[in-house]
């Protein structure tokens, strides 16, 4: 006689295992410890087998019968239900390993050695905030251009066009990785090239001597945090990238030798970079050492001393000094140095080395590093002396970008990352 829920609930554990039979091979096994387990008995090739369905009441009588019927269909085909279940679990594990998020994180792991920590974090955060919530759980093979376009357009609507463009590039690289590892058939992100309108960018521009004089005057009058003032002065004299300055620890500096060595892991292109320090830069560092020299960082975060100055601190200071957002950025100091040093007659290859524009030939790069160091020291001192020769001249007005140059893109490209490739 088939089982009922009432009969199952009323069943009591005994000293021995009890078997309450239902029908077509299904029975409930009541153990001495009180647990109740569904079993299905079947035969294949004349040999009796048992298939464990689950525990009552987690698996109800109705569910157990359905599982039994599904198992019977497999048995009729000569397939053991337990083998089919294991195969199904394996398939699910494979699917889980091949989701868009899983493949993306695998790709991100492969990029850790090639990218700076800042850029790696930027890419990871962008994917986590925009892509994973929408398509992270989908098998990457099932992600379409329509899925990606919806994400990119949502970013565009909220004014994040620049990050939308980057996300498309990162997604394209992720799909190419999936293709070469046989987990995708193509790159749907490639079809979306041009789908997002690129914002008008305020490209790096050299400052004139008059503009530098205005900047120096405003910096002298600026009443903000002294370390921020020092950071901007040091950036002017060294023309390094903003992120290289913000995250600089004191351990990288040899003030006696007047030299700053930035290790490969902190550089955009993973090459050791040496910055000869002019007398003016050394004096600035000696002043700064009295303020932050007891800690790890040159420029610790105001609120979190164990962390470094935030990426927006310098740009906010420029705004407080009367410069409209995007008018000047840290990268413009580099453009100014490049232009002026060429005009001063220094060799282009020496200037490029000091700007950390990487020489592709590693052997030649090492040779150039040694050959040009004396000239680079002379060049950095000549640059600092030229800066000092410019008189301070505050125009006294708020300076703005021309309307056709206004941009919604990140204010300082020197503090961003590198190629998605």
Query: Which active-site residues does the annotation give?
Result: 241, 268, 331, 334, 357, 367
CB 235 within 8 A of CB 309: no
Paired tokens of 123: 């890419």
Q: What is the CA radius of gyration of the chain?
A: 33
Of 59, 417, 406, 32, the residue nearest 201 (C-alpha):
406
Paired tokens of 329: 């950025």
Q: Which residue has the tokens 């002026």?
A: 340
User: What angle in degrees, to the nearest 10, is found between the helix axes of 161-180 and 100-111?
Assistant: 90
Paired tokens of 277: 């320090």
DSSP 120-154: HHHHHHHIIIIIHHHHTTSBGGG--HHHHHHHHHH
The angle at the Cα of 195, spanning 180 to 102, to the nearest 5 degrees, equals 35
* Beta partners for residue 259, in sequence order: 254, 276
Distance (Å, whole) CA 201 – CA 216? 26
Of 258, 267, 278, the residue nearest 365 (C-alpha):
267
CA distances from 129 to 124, 134, 135 (A): 9, 9, 11
Contacts of range 208-214, beta carbons closer than 8 Å, 24 or more positions apart: 209/390, 210/393, 212/236, 212/336, 212/387, 212/390, 213/390, 213/391, 213/392, 213/393, 214/393, 214/394, 214/395, 214/399
Q: Cis (ω within 30 of 0) for the bond into 57?
A: yes
Of 275, 306, 291, the residue nearest 228 (C-alpha):
291
Distance between start and end Cα atoms, the chain: 68
């Amino acid at each position: 006689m088939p089982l009922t829920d009432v009969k199952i609930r009323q069943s009591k554990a005994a000293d021995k295992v009890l078997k309450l039979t239902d029908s077509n091979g299904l029975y409930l096994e009541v153990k001495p410890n009180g647990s109740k387990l569904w079993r299905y008995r079947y035969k294949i090739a004349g040999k009796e087998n048992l298939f464990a369905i689950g525990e009552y009441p987690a698996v109800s009588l109705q569910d157990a019968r359905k599982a039994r019927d599904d198992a019977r269909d497999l048995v009729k085909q000569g397939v053991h239900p337990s083998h089919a279940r294991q195969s199904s679990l394996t398939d699910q594990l494979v699917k889980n390993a091949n989701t868009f998020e899983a493949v993306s994180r695998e790709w991100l792991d492969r990029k850790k050695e090639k990218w700076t920590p800042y850029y790696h974090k930027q890419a990871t955060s962008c994917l986590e905030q925009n892509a994973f919530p929408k398509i992270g759980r989908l098998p990457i093979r099932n992600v379409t251009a329509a899925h990606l376009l919806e994400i990119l357009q949502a970013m565009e609507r909220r004014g994040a066009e620049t990050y939308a463009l980057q996300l498309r590039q990162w997604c394209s690289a992720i799909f190419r990785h999936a293709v070469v590892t046989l987990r995708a058939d193509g790159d749907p992100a490639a079809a979306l090239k041009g789908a997002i309108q690129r914002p008008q960018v305020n490209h790096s521009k050299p400052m004139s001597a008059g503009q530098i004089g205005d900047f120096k005057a405003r910096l002298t009058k600026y009443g903000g945090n002294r370390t921020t003032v020092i950071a901007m002065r040091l950036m002017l004299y060294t023309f390094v990238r903003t992120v290289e300055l913000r995250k600089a620890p004191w351990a990288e500096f040899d003030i006696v030798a007047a030299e700053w060595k930035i290790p490969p892991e902190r550089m955009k292109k993973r090459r050791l970079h040496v910055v000869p320090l002019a007398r003016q830069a050394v004096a600035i560092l000696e002043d700064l050492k009295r303020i932050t020299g007891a800690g790890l960082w040159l420029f610790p975060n105001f609120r979190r001393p164990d962390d470094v100055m935030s990426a927006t601190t310098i740009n906010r200071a420029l705004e407080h000094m009367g410069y409209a957002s995007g008018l000047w950025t840290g990268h413009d100091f580099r453009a100014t140095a490049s232009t002026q040093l060429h005009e001063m007659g220094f060799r282009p290859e020496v200037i490029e080395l000091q700007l950390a524009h990487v020489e592709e030939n590693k052997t030649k790069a090492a040779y150039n590093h040694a050959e040009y160091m004396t000239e680079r020291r002379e060049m950095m001192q000549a640059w600092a002396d030229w800066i000092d020769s410019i008189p301070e001249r505050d125009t006294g007005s708020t300076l703005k970008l021309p309307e056709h140059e206004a941009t919604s893109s990140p204010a300082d490209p020197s503090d961003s990352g590198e190629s998605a490739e």
